[in-house]
Amino acid sequence: MSVHLIGGGATTTADAALHAPFVTEALVRASHTGRARPRIAVISLHPEAEEKAAALGELLTEAGTGQALELHLTAGRPGEPIGLDAIADVDGIAVGGGNVETVRAGLEPVFDEVRRLVADGVPYLGVSAGAMIAAEGSLGSGARIGGVAVSPEDPAEPGDELEIEVGIGLVDVAIEVHVAQRGVLSRLVAAVESGLIAGALGIDERTALIVDDGALRVEGTGSVWRVLPAEGGVLVSTIGT
């Protein structure tokens, strides 16, 4: 099964099509296990976790085009990591957005189990921060490298250094989101050029990157930006829809 990464911004029923490939794979997984309705874990660690989990669940239901889904919603709370019961016996795992450090910390205790489930054929959907933590090395929210600003800074947290933390490890390059909309391509370029990361994929809003056995597919209205080291600098290219 595949890893589905959405770069954020896809929050209306018009965006349900971006979620449809994930739901389709969850349906296939359910049929293989003899379940009539796919059981999907929907996890949010956003400050408005209950509302965000419910909204993501509604998008998945819309994407199912009438197919009944069994949604297991989990609204995380700061300082209370997600437990294994949130992802037990499921046909799909969907993780929403929020502050990437908070989302990563909340999910970290179940990283091993998420990897095991995905390896066993359970599809993963990550939206915004949920996409960023899917990487082996998860980008933080900092906008400086070596004290130098490399992208627009959060006015509430100026001066924060970009740090790389352990992610789930479903993809082997760093993942960035909201790229064109927040002007953070420069952060990826600087991170690769400095050697902080070996390479990265940046996903625009309302755009999905689907990773299946190493093959990449893009859906939606934007681009996926590929940033790799090159002789004398950095190579930037796009993977379009």
Residue with tokens 């795992």: 93
Average pLDDT over residues 183-191: 96
Using CA atoms, how far apart are residues 194 and 151, in angstroms rounded to an integer? 14
pLDDT in tens, 220-241: 999 999 999 999 899 999 986 5
- Judge whether 41 and 118 are in contact, CB under 8 Å: no
pLDDT band, very low/low/confident/very high, at 208 (cuts 50, 70, 90): very high
Stretch (H or E) spanning 59:
helix 49-63
pTM for the model: 0.95
Average pLDDT over residues 92-104: 96
- DSSP symbol at 109: G
Average pLDDT over residues 65-82: 90
SS3 of residue 148 by DSSP: strand
pLDDT number for residue 159: 82
